Structure 1
Amino acid sequence: MDRRAFLKGGAGLMAAGAMAAAARISPAWAAAQEPSNIRNFHPEMRYRPHGLTGVAVSALGFGMLRLPLLADGKTVDEARTIAMLRHAIDHGLNYVDTGYVYLGGQSEAVTGKALAGGYRDRIWLTSKSPWWIMERPEDFERFFDESRRRLQTDVIDFYHIHMIMHRGWKEKVVPFRLIDRMMELKARGAIRFAGFSFHDGAPLFKRVVDANPGWDFCLIQQNYLDTEHEAGLVGLNYAAANGMGVSIMEPLRNGFLVKPPAMVQAVLDAAPRRRPPVEWAFDYLWNRPEVSVVVSGMASMQNVRDNLAYAGRSAPGMLDAEDRAVIGRAARAYRSAPGTIPCTGCYNCIPCPQNVAIGYLFNMVFNQYKADGDKARAHRLVNYSMSPVQRGDRPGACNECGQCLPKCPQGINIPEELKRVRRELEL
């Protein structure tokens, strides 16, 4: 059965019914269903309000980080990337997410090339300003202008302060007045909407939201394994309650949920209504009306086609009680893997005096390793996805000061577990 026939069938009717119900949630939801209000409308895509911005965004966003590379493993394959992005836009995707530092600037450059020939006017374009390479406040405007040149655009629709964390908030965002500088860009029309991406705990997330009544949106990590990790569901709901649009990154947990470990896959295989693992992960997010857009990195045309199909049958409230129970059982199966640390990634333990990336090492690196046994993946997550400036330092930096111990709601002996992480992963 092809996708058009599928949408005309029972599943398509279910999605249509759920979307009709969603339109009754609020005026913003109702407006997001009107084709005349939608940039790049396509009947086989589903659209959602981005908070109170008045913008309707496609359920699926294209994340321009994990792009296909040439044989050298470093250079973006521009021909394949441009074809993939244009195919997605031709099928109704209207949200494209890139960043100043992505792939050493190649991401913004290839995005600009792909959006030539009229594609720029069909989408909402995002980029991000990286605090960790700023040496002075004026670098904010310099990076912004460089992004515009690479992207071949005068206006960036959704602009982020990239990856706000405790260290960046304290050392750069506040003293460099980056929020004020962001709002100045908005006031003069250089950006349409102001926001931030986030990698820290819920308490700091709330502080950041409260610091600027003018925030339009945020980008947070969320998936069905990480309901408490970083901002978590608390942050999702807090942002939505403040009228902000919420974009979601890492819906597949850096690819981990594409081929989940055996104990998770067994739960999904036993579900009354079968779905591919990727679709389960997306549907968990699209089920929530607070989610505006799920941003996914796509490295092949098949990824693009599959994800468009999943988005085309998405809707808030699409999961019934049994579907939600399946996801709950899958998450519990993952957490029950032998040898895991009972860390939820809440980040209450940071900042660490020695800058150790405690929650990230426990929840995102070690527990994944205990579930799938993939030590090479664990090493990549430490060596290539973590830096002392951004995430924090390696487990060997711990000096057993013990300041983290009373902060952990799980009562984890953090210094001892860091020793185990270091020993078992040979870090």
Structure 2
Amino acid sequence: MATQMEAAKRGEITEAMQAVARKENLPAEEIRARVARGTVVIPKNVHHHSIDPEGVGQGLKTKINVNLGISKDCANIDSELDKVRKALEMKAEAIMDLSNYGKTALFREKLIEMSPAMIGTVPMYDAIGYLGKKLEAITAKEFLAVVEKHARDGVDFMTIHAGLNRRTVEHFKRNSRLTNIVSRGGSLLYAWMELNHAENPFYEYFDEVLNICAEHDVTLSLGDACRPGSIADATDASQIEELIVLGELTQRAWDRNVQVMIEGPGHMTLNEIQANVLLEKKLCHGAPFYVLGPLVTDVAPGYDHITSAIGGAISGAAGADFLCYVTPAEHLRLPTLDDMREGIIAAKIAAHAADLAKGIPGAAEWDRAMSTARQALDWNKMFELAMDREKAERYRQESAPALDDSCTMCGEMCSMRLMNKFVSHEL
């Protein structure tokens, strides 16, 4: 069976491409052409039958991802499935299962079976628990076996930290960092490489990784093991060296008709974001850019959904394609259902703000409709259009105005109410 990229290169428009074209209000032929070039990906494993395909990349709406999963301290599958249901209700386009303990395969199976959203994983997280071995005792073949297991289970995209090779490690050792390697998968691989005095197995056996991805049409999300975990480490030698390697791996993947996304920082100041997006697009040949935030300051634990939304909006406006949500619990704990909800809304705000800046078809119409409803003091329409209807309705109910055509902020002095009496609008 052909991958989406292979079909696109042959000139074939698949059902998935047609579905994406309808959602994006673009010609199906344009979607096909971008998939063929690698500037758009459609993560869709051949075994994920419940998926409603989404496109990520050039000229498309900015998508968001929600991280979930069980851990040793929080291993309740049912509570994580409650989060899944809420994330799907809130229209998240992707869910990453970052489970690293216990019945990971069972959770992943249930997730893929119920989810119309695309599903991602980080096989490195699952390796120790799944194989039941100490890190240093795991072989390269066993790491690849975990990748194959996730692919056969139906995972649509996988984070593979293949850019952290021995050369990148030497750059890291020669260039000190304040926060070292903060990527969980990257730190595990670094430790494995040092303990075994060996090359990164995902880099050394990258062709085998591509064989697996091509067979099941898994999109590679090439992980940034050296992403900055503090603004002090942003855009340093280790990060850029790894990005150069990821660009080389991207070309190898495309030669095998495997779709690719590139993962990016991390933490960095506002003034570095645009340059980082430009670097990724140049060094990785226009492959879609998937960013964690970036968080624009390090000093707001408990509010990092806000620091990341600021960075996400700026990176999206600069050309990033996919935002990984960050919750208020980042750096502090496994997020609760409420934390997840706050993180999703923050990421959706950032994504839509980016779409407005990029001129994505349909983005401005949503805002215009809301402004029209506000001018008309049509509260029901405002709630219908609100990104978070539940919160908007609750706020109004908690502070009911004396006048139905105003709110408790302005009352009789409501500017909309006043101007409607004197100015006729034909909108």
**Structure 2 length normalisation: TM-score?**
0.47
**Structure 1 length normalisation: TM-score?**
0.47
Structure number having the greater helix percentage:
2
